Amino acid sequence: MEVKELHAPGHRACPGCGCAIAVKIILRETGPNTIIVSPTGCLETFTSPIRSSSWEVPWIHSLFENAPAIATGVLAGLNSQGNPNGTKVVAIGGDGGTYDIGMGSLSGMFERKDDILYICYDNEAYMNTGIQGSSATPLGAGTTTTPVTGDSFGKMVEKKDMVAIALAHGVPYVATASIANLADLKKKVRKGMDNPGPAFILMLTPCNVGWGYEPEETVELARKAVETGLFPIVEFENGNMVSALKIRPVPVEEYLKPQKRYQHLFKNDKFEDVLKAIRKKAEDNIKKFGLA
């Protein structure tokens, strides 16, 4: 059977990869008249082993730290030739390439107001190198560099607020999206592409290897992250919130319990404060964005 997706199968993502779902849907919306830039990360690794690229659109791998700068260069190249076909430039990077290593370069892209859509697939750690914590790893989550042992309860601090960081740069279109709501994701990709100037979309893409759950639960966990209030689905245009997905909040435990990275919180009473802080985070989000 012939597969017509712009992200071809045969790629080497782990079974049940949330990022692979997201990229397929993103490319359905961008269409073929797009150049994709990716920093180092899972996506780059599983789509581009030599002679087995799964990209059916022009794609370029930068270094870990400079995908937004490369995207700026690609756009400048297109513009210098008049960009007769109106080709769009989209960068897709993981949380490592976005929150940590590419942060300076991304800040520059936001500052220059380059007409680029930057999409972050956030799986909350460096997954393809062995689950090292990133600044997107949430409070209480165990990774190989935020270990759970003795009194250590995993990540000791909250994750960075990338939405607030993008908004602080005056980025005209900033949104979050979920792989559990693909129509909304597509709509936001379209808006981000049509918006003149930079746009930033943050997606939570569960990773069964790094989070420790069965591969079939990927979409279900993405859905639970939204329903608990831990990952609010919001949208900002020119700094103003224009939409927020209403939820009927479910307890955060429904999201945390199926994941190995949070198991210690339920086995030992001494981590009760961490659980409380996670519950409070969900409540704060619900209040802040008026989700319920």
Partner 1 sequence: MMDLLLGGVCKAGESKKLETGKWRSFRPVVDRNKCIKCGKCADYCPDSCMEIKEDGAEVNLYYCKGCLICIRECPVKAITKEVEEK
Looking at residue 121, the DSSP 8-state letter turns out to be: E
- Is the distance from CB of 20 to CB of 209 less than 8 angstroms? no
From 100, 112, 106, select the one nearest 166 (Cα to Cα): 106
CB of 190 to partner 1, least distance (A): 16
Q: Which residues from 125-184 bind partner 1, rule CB under 8 A?
A: 179, 182
CB of 6 to partner 1, least distance (A): 9
Quick one: 87 or 195, whose CB is closer to partner 1? 87
Q: Does 63 bind partner 1 (CB under 8 A)?
A: no
CA Rg value for the chain: 19
Quick one: 9 or 251, whose CB is closer to partner 1? 9
Q: Which residues from 203-242 bind partner 1, rule CB under 8 A?
A: 215-220
Q: Which residues from 11-40 bind partner 1, rule CB under 8 A?
A: 11-13, 15-18, 20-21, 24-25
Strand (E) or helix (H) holding 94 = strand 88-94
Task: Give all strands (DSSP E) within 192-239, no chain letters.
Answer: 199-204, 234-237
Give the Cα separation of 203 and 278 in Å (integer).
19
CB of 47 to partner 1, least distance (A): 7
Give the Cα separation of 19 and 94 in Å (integer).
9
Both tokens assigned to 122: 């956030």
Q: Does 53 bind partner 1 (CB under 8 A)?
A: yes
CB of 147 to partner 1, least distance (A): 28
Residues at the site binding partner 1, with contacts judged by CB under 8 A: 1, 3, 5, 7-13, 15-18, 20-21, 24-25, 47-48, 50-57, 179, 182, 215-220
